[in-house]
Amino acid sequence: MVKYPTGVKAITVKAKVAQSSKQKQKKYHNRPVEYDGHRFDSQVECGYYKQLKILKLDCRVHEKFELQPKFECGGVHHQSMTYKPDFSIYEQGKLVSVVDVKGGKATQTIASTMRMKMFMYRYKVPVVIATWNKETQTFEEKIK
């Protein structure tokens, strides 16, 4: 056994393995769900999808929209900027609105708000924020 200086403890191998095998906790405590061939970020998002299916709306899940193309400036390459709303709703083949399902105020970050504004400016389509109200057991929707 190695003699360590005073005040330093030996780290056992078992403790290291237990820490590395521990799964990282999600930032907003959401649980991904698979339903109807789609992967949703949370159970609330899956619930909203079920409502859209009941209403028989033409919707697409996690469709990617380009906000800004890739470019080069001063010899540095910059990636394109995209926005992937939870749901894109179409009527007669035309995009009429997009929906972002949020678990609460904490999940609506400054970055997500900025992307929503850039999306609305470029595509001229409103972004609807849907939040789940536990008390009334309904979705509350507001246009951003």
CATH code matching the domain that covers 31-68+79-143, chosen among 3.40.190.10, 3.40.630.10, 3.40.1350.10, 3.40.47.10: 3.40.1350.10
Instruction: Write down the mean pLDDT value for the chain.
Output: 82
Model confidence pLDDT, tens digit, residues 22-40: 455 555 567 888 998 999 9
Name 94's Cβ contacts closer than 8 Å, sequence gap at least 6. none
Q: Is 61 exposed, middle or buried (0-12, 13-18, 19+ CB in 10 A)?
A: middle
Under 8 Å between Cβ of 99 and 44: no
Model confidence pLDDT, tens digit, residues 66-78: 999 999 999 999 9
Under 8 Å between Cβ of 63 and 125: no
